[in-house]
């Protein structure tokens, strides 16, 4: 995996990014090609629109995660784990398990964040990041935590 351009910002080093990746199950990251830091303004400058307020993205066609604008180490880790969560949801979960999440578990309260309310995929990614980073300040419901423990971090 290529970890690129994190020396352009001061919140998280490339080594810290690779440490975060290494603490995850190998199948969650082994087919991700790269994780880049690139400010949103540079995408806009070349004609690629970036929705306001969006801090990261996962591009399935390139198997690449881009982190746009950072303000702290903890947010940087959360964004990277969240985007890996999208890869896991789309690629590692079986379609049967994805359906189970979408129909029975995701998209229902309690939510770990306001953003998790957006849709079932964002709920999954927010739960994945919370579970991965063991953020104690936000509460992961036992139903969602159990789904991750049994199906994702088995
Ligand atoms: Zn997302």
The three-class DSSP label of residue 145 is helix
Residue identified by tokens 């995996």 is: 1
Per residue in 16-52, pLDDT (tens digit) is: 999 999 999 999 999 999 999 999 999 999 998 888 8
Expressed in angstroms and rounded, the spacing between residue 128 Cα and the centre of ligand 1 is 11
Sign of the dihedral through C-alpha 96, 104, 109, 149: negative
What's the predicted TM-score (pTM) here?
0.94
Expressed in angstroms and rounded, the spacing between residue 82 Cα and the centre of ligand 1 is 6
Q: What is the pLDDT of residue 139?
A: 76
Q: What is the pLDDT of residue 69?
A: 87
Q: What is the pLDDT of residue 49?
A: 87
Rounded Cα distance between 119 and 125, Å, is 10
> How far does the chain reach from its first CA to its final CA, in angstroms?
23
Expressed in angstroms and rounded, the spacing between residue 17 Cα and the centre of ligand 1 is 18
> Judging by DSSP bridges, how do beta strands 34-37 and 64-67 pair with one another?
parallel
Domain boundaries, the chain: 1-71, 93-154
Q: What is the pLDDT of residue 51?
A: 87
Q: What is the pLDDT of residue 135?
A: 66
Per residue in 44-82, pLDDT (tens digit) is: 999 988 888 889 999 999 999 999 988 999 999 999 999
Expressed in angstroms and rounded, the spacing between residue 8 Cα and the centre of ligand 1 is 23
Expressed in angstroms and rounded, the spacing between residue 76 Cα and the centre of ligand 1 is 13
Q: What is the pLDDT of residue 136?
A: 54
Expressed in angstroms and rounded, the spacing between residue 139 Cα and the centre of ligand 1 is 19
For the record, the structure tokens of 40 come out as 């949103």
Cβ atoms 82, 121 nearer than 8 A:
no
Share of the chain above pLDDT 70, in %: 97
């Amino acid at each position: 995996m290529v970890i690129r351009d994190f020396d352009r910002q001061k919140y998280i080093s490339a080594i810290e990014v690779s440490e975060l990746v290494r603490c995850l199950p190998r199948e969650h990251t082994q087919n991700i090609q790269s994780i880049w830091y690139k400010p949103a303004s540079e995408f806009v400058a070349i004609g690629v629109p970036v929705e306001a307020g969006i801090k990261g993205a996962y591009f399935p066609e390139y198997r690449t995660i881009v982190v746009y604008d950072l303000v702290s180490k903890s947010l940087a880790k959360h964004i990277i784990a969240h985007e890996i969560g999208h890869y896991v949801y789309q690629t590692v979960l079986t379609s049967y398990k994805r359906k189970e999440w979408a129909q029975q578990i995701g998209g229902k309260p309690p939510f770990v964040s306001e953003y998790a309310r957006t849709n079932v995929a964002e709920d999954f990614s927010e739960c994945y990041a919370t579970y991965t980073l063991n953020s104690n300040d936000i509460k992961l419901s036992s139903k969602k935590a159990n789904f991750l423990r049994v199906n994702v971090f088995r």
